[in-house]
Structure 1
Amino acid sequence: MSAGAAAAVTLRAYVDGATRVLAEAGVGSPRHDATALAAYALGLPRVELVLPPPLPEGFAARYAALVERRRSREPLQHITGHTAFRHLTLRVEPGVFVPRPETETVAQLAIDEARRLLAAGGAPVVVDLCTGTGAIALSVATEVPGARVVAVDLSPEAVGLTRHNARAVGADGVRVVQGDVRDPDLLADLAGMVDVVVSNPPYIPPDAVPTDPEVRDHDPDLALYGGGADGLDVPRAVVAAAGRLLAAGGLLVMEHAEVQDAPAREVALATGVFTQVATAPDLTGRPRTLVARRVARGGVGDSPA
């Protein structure tokens, strides 16, 4: 057997064994994670089992240690230190919420609106509240280069990570702010000047503790639980902030839980400053995103323009 053929059998055997271990531990994507960990152990972005690289000395022990961490349900992203979001590779660290694929549709709505405004000759201003790793803000900044983007988070760890990711993806122009979305003076310099407010805020109710250990044990509570009996205290603050920040006709895009579509619409309607209030689906078709337009200044809850 050639050296290449031996490497192929060996690497495949390692990945097959790791896949079984992870599947028995309840990991949702055991083959994907086993392969990703093999690539990480080899210092490669990816591996092809049909054309495998040579296995260095010590690979078996290194790979086994990584698989054991994943078997204990440590998030794959925490082990490898990065995650993919749309066209970006973002650094991920413990203590900061790991962005999910379904949030890519939230980012898409903000990107589409910013592109529309840019094509019409505008210079869109986009604010991402509760930014976490900066996934949404940096997607807008890199996919709509003419947009002015501001990213806000209460967590100093998230703010530091967003700044790192901004530099890493070449979006140094993104303004990153540590601030509380519940602060009525947040981004006061932008009041009435923002075209898009987008957010994936914490929204889980206190009695709906996630069942997945990766989320329950590793994502920070600050990024998970929205406050109040219904989990909508922080989302309510996001809607209120959007009412202050958005210009007339500006768009609010906010992720929420599948069961919160009607309550989220009610929150927006109750302000009296939003119209075209609707719910958009996520990648799986579930109702997961509030979309609403800011009415002209002078509406209910506003001072006269």
Structure 2
Amino acid sequence: MTDNADPHTLESLLRSTTELLRAADVDSPRADAETLASHVLGASRGEITAWAVSGRRIDPVQSVDLRRLAISRSTRTPLQYLTGTTTFRTTDLEVGHGVFLPRPETEVVAGAAIEAARAVQHSAGRPLVVDLCTGSGAIAASVAREVPGATVHAVESDPEAAWWAAANLDPLGVTLHVDDAASAVPELDGSADVVVSNPPYVPDGRIPAQAEARRDPERAMYGGGADGMRVPTLVSASAARLLRPGGTFVMEHDETQEELVTRLLRHGAEEIGLAAGLFAGIETRTDLTGRPRYTVAVRTDGRMIR
């Protein structure tokens, strides 16, 4: 029986799903169709490809499930929300509605934190790493996996996001704190080797260009103020509080905030206790597309303003 004569073959369903997603302007319609089929059938993408070529038929229940997911994807519901998982660096994460989906550009931010933690491990033993505004726990999970022996703490203030973080971090032995990044884990003050953060930083009023990005929770996106710097400023003050002298701070930010972050770390913000001169070696680095995406700095032995 040919594919055209049997609408329940996998290849026929993949084609119709691809056409639906292409009509909705989804960027990678065939790949998304195969990923949804992989999720429904509990198979790998490679198996899906082989089954489609062989003319495998799909039972009516699976066909309906795939169609339902395809319709949701055509409304630009993120693919990761539909499958319940995403991959970040070497780690598979559980994700869903209510948590910010980690982006590929954040992988290089995590890489910088991992590099700093490994340097401590090679020279002084077990590094202490704190991830502020952890969201799904992507960065903290990556550090825990890629720097065995590191002590990792993660902080998230939103209970809904923290639920997902707990699912991802508890199996890795990461300590999760449901608390405000501005004041969390005071018992670690002055002892962290690395503080890393991907805080909310999008300037108020900016609407993400990609439809899927508009499904992320606003509280995880917008940093506060026309320049988006309110939360990054508070996170920087917490980093200065938590880090030991010589410790490393890594923070993701918007491509428009390079100068603002550099000025903040160099000159401080006295109104929140962030004195000038608490950070040195301030360096902005680029993401995979060459945009200024994150800044790395080293904590000096200067004192916070009390």
Q: Give TM-score scaled by structure 1 length.
A: 0.90
The match for 1:178 is 178
Within the alignment, does 1:290 sit opposite 2:288 as a pair? no
Equivalent residue for 1:261, pick from 258, 262, 275 = 258
Contact 2:169 2:175 in 1 (8 A): no
Q: CA deviation at 1:302?
A: 5.3
| Distance change (3 Å), C-alpha of 1:13 and 1:95 | same
1:181–1:234 CA contact under 8 A, matched in 2 = no
Which of 234, 237, 262 is 1:240 aligned to?
237
- Sequence identity, in percent? 45
Q: Which of 170, 193, 201 matches 2:191?
A: 193
Secondary structure at the aligned position of 1:107 is classed as: helix
Unaligned runs of 5+ in 2: 269-275
Post-superposition CA distance 1:138-180 (Å, at most 9, x none):
110111111100000111112221111124xx30x21100111
Describe the shift of the 1:56–1:22 C-alpha distance in structure 2 as closer, same or farther (beyond 3 A): closer
Counterparts of 1:1-305 in structure 2 under 5 Å? 10-52=9-51, 54-58=56-60, 59-167=62-170, 170-171=171-172, 173-183=173-183, 186-216=184-214, 218-271=215-268, 272=276, 273-298=278-303, 301=304
Q: Distance in 2 between matches of 1:297 and 1:45?
A: 53
Cα pair 2:129 2:153 within 8 Å, conserved: yes
Deviations along 1:184-229, one digit per CA (max 9) or x if unpaired, are xx2110110001110111001112111322221x211110100112
Post-superposition offset of 1:14: 2.3
- Secondary structure class of the residue paired with 1:276: strand
Q: Per the alignment, in what secondary structure is the counterpart of residue 120 of structure 1?
A: helix
* Aligned partners of 2:129 and 2:195 also within 8 Å: yes
Is contact 1:12-1:49 (8 Å) kept? no
Distance apart, 1:50 and its partner CA: 4.4
Q: Secondary structure at the match of 2:50?
A: coil
Q: Give the Cα separation in 1 of the matches to 2:29 and 2:297.
A: 39
Which shows bigger deviation, 104-113 or 9-18? 9-18
Task: Give the AA of the match of 1:70.
Answer: R
Structure 1 contact 130–152 (Cα < 8 Å) conserved = yes
Question: Using the alignment, how far apart are the partners of 2:242 and 2:57 within structure 1?
Answer: 55
- Larger CA deviation: 69-78 vs 276-285: 276-285
State how far apart, in whole Å, the 2-side matches of 1:265 and 1:130 are: 20
3-state secondary structure, aligned to 1:293: strand
Q: Distance in 2 between matches of 1:143 and 1:194?
A: 18
Indicate the larger mover: 13-22 or 79-88: 13-22
In the other structure, the counterpart of 2:272 is: none
Q: Which amino acid aligns with 2:205?
A: D
Amino acid paired to 1:162: A
What is the CA–CA distance in structure 2 between the aligned matches of 1:294 and 1:14, rounded to whole Å?
Answer: 56
Q: Distance in 1 between matches of 2:28 and 2:131?
A: 30
Distance 2:2 2:25 in 1: 36
Measure, in 1, the Cα distance between the counterparts of 2:47 and 2:266: 51
Q: Match of 1:51, SS?
A: helix
Aligned length: 292
Measured in 1, the distance between the counterparts of 2:69 and 2:292 equals 36
- Letter of the aligned partner of 1:205 in structure 2? P
Q: Which amino acid aligns with 1:176?
A: L
